[in-house]
Amino acid sequence: MNYYEGDNLGSLAKIEVIEHYRLLGNAPLQLAPGAAWFEIPFKEESGKLNLKSIPSDNGRIYTYSGRFYFNRMRSEIDQAMGQYLNDTAVFRLTDMNGEVYIIGAPGSPATISENGDTGQRFVNENGTEFTFTIDQPYRALKA
């Protein structure tokens, strides 16, 4: 596929995750010694990022949520993603237009949940969908 300047392409190109406690700060973003982002090998064109912004008595709240999908239910998924489930993750998301968003922060992680199934018939897809969400008082950091 060829990409041209001005295209407004959908989906996420890259999803990376790290445990929130492995970050020393987010302004500027600093990783703890020995810490590294883990790139999630999700199914192409299954990644999505949503933003909802609402006013509150304490200022504006930015809700980021999204999803990504793995083909097949297998033990590698459990090994790769198990440590990030629940409330531990900070995401670095790159969309198909090259924009990079960082959601979550030290002490303020995103929540990840999973839902997998084998499908009912042989024509159904067997896989696991992961969803993530976070409410934060600031827009996603741009990297």
Amino acid at 51: L
The pLDDT score that the predictor gives to residue 5 is: 61
Q: Give the residues across from 128 on adjacent strands.
A: 70, 116
The larger pLDDT score, comparing residue 105 to residue 27, is at 105
Q: Residues 130, 113: contact at Cβ < 8 Å? A: yes
- Burial pattern 68-104, b for ≥16 Cβ within 10 A else e, equals bbbeeeeeebeebbeebeeebbbbbbbbbeeeebbbb
What pLDDT is stored for residue 120 in this prediction?
A: 79
Between CA 86 and CA 113 the distance in angstroms is: 6
In tens, the pLDDT along 63-91 reads 999 999 988 767 777 777 888 888 889 99
For the chain, the average pLDDT equals: 88
Residue 113: closest CA among 71, 81, 72 = 81
Please give the average per-residue pLDDT across 111-139, as a whole number: 86
Percentage of the chain surpassing pLDDT 70?
94
Q: Which residue has the higher pLDDT, 125 or 12?
A: 12
Q: Residue 38 pairs with which residues in a beta bridge?
A: 17
At 105, the amino acid letter reads: A
- The pTM for the full model equals 0.85
Burial 6-45, CB ≥16 within 10 A → b, else e: eeeeeebbbbbbbbbebbeebeebeeeeeeeeeebebeee
Domain definitions of the chain by residue range: 12-142
Does residue 107 register a pLDDT over 80? Answer: yes
